[in-house]
Amino acid sequence: MSNMTNNTTENNNLDFENSDMMNENFQDSYDADGNDLYAAEEQLEELSPIVESSSAPQEPLIQKAEKKKKKGKDDEEETYHKPIIKRRKPNRSIAGDIFLYIFLLLVAIVMFFPIIYAVESALKPLDELYKFPPRIFAQNPTMDNFSDLFVTLSKSWVSFSRYLFNTVFITFVGTAGHLFIASMAAFVLAKYEFPGGKTFFKIVTVAMMFTGYVTGIPNYIIMSKLGMIDTYWAIIIPAFASPMGLFLMKQFMEGLPTSLIEAAKIDGATEWCVFSRIVMPNVKPAWLTLIIFSVQGLWNNKASTLIYSEEMKTLPYAMQQIQAGGIARTGEAAAVLVVLMVVPIAIFIFSESQILETMASSGLKD
């Protein structure tokens, strides 16, 4: 028993010695690792100024790289915005431009002078109308000529409103019918081929050479055979057959792409739909010009050879009778001229602006 007790005691002592040795080794290794860590930190502290000194010159290099990138982008934008085709400078000098503008101004004054003189004459009293040398502008402008004109018309057997209605009715119906018939005929002649089409257009072209004085007698015979003398239709029906509208519309419709019409037909559009919704909007400059010519012709038509009833006569005929009143009605005659030219000029100015706008915004290629 004593031996066994001694053995266990020795074993325990050995275990304690081994544990002490392990603790000493662990402490030594821990101290060594701690010293290594401290040494690494010291080395980092020693190397930090070197690293900082080496990283300090890198900032301007980055800025230079960014500047190069910005410069490259600016160069790309400059090359992108640079026009491919340079604008050709005019060969004229400044003196040439000044001369051109002065010339255009003089032409405009010459063209506008008759209108100014007519308006100023209508505002002159009777004594200024017979002054010599005549003056362009009225010294004592007055509206007496216009008031005398309306008084004279009010005292006539037919009122002024009746003359005005006759003129407006003939002008409106004649212009609308001429535009409608000429446009449909021009569409057929321009976009369809049929026997006799070219011969018919040649006859229309030849008919443009004859004035209204040449066709006056044939028109009267035809209207007499149809029983339309002394009616509005004696003026309106001949206006439908004016060759000028057909020629103008046909020449303009020939420039319209045929592929546009064929595409509409493939989509199921009818002939009337193609004509009203595709062809007519694209030839707007032509029919606006046709309106100007037709209104000017019908508004100034006296219709004295085909209409005999005073109740159906037009305003230009009544104005002509006032102008034939002699010296006492010279002022009224000047006012008559202004009244007659107001409507055609107003329609021309309105239609001209529309024509320029349409020509500037339209352009079709086949």
CA-to-CA distance for 166 and 231, rounded, in angstroms? Answer: 11
CA-to-CA distance for 233 and 226, rounded, in angstroms? Answer: 10
Q: State the CB neighbour count (10 A cutoff) for residue 342.
A: 11
Q: Give the pLDDT score at 63.
A: 55
pLDDT band at 172 (very low <50, low <70, confident <90, very high): very high
- Has residue 173 got a pLDDT over 90? yes
Q: Are the CB atoms for 179 and 245 separated by under 8 Å?
A: yes
- Has residue 270 got a pLDDT over 70? yes
Q: Are the CB atoms for 316 and 301 separated by under 8 Å?
A: yes
CA-to-CA distance for 361 and 356, rounded, in angstroms? Answer: 9
Q: State the CB neighbour count (10 A cutoff) for residue 276.
A: 13
- Has residue 6 got a pLDDT over 50? no
Q: Diameter of the chain by CA atoms?
A: 176
Domains and CATH numbers, the chain: 91-142 (no CATH), 144-361 (1.10.3720.10)
Question: Does residue 68 sit in helix, strand or coil?
Answer: helix
Using CA atoms of 87, 90, 93, 98 in order, give the dihedral in degrees to the nearest 10: -100
Is this structure's pTM higher than 0.75? no
Mean local confidence (pLDDT), 156-165: 81
Ranking 58-62, 151-155, 194-198, 327-331 by mean pLDDT, the lowest is 58-62
My answer on whether omega of the bond before 133 falls inside 30° of 0, hence cis, is yes
AA identity, residue 363: G
Per-residue pLDDT tens for 54-98? 444 444 545 555 555 555 555 555 454 445 555 666 566 788 788
Q: Give the pLDDT score at 156.
A: 75
CA–CA–CA angle 110, 115, 119 (5° rounding): 140
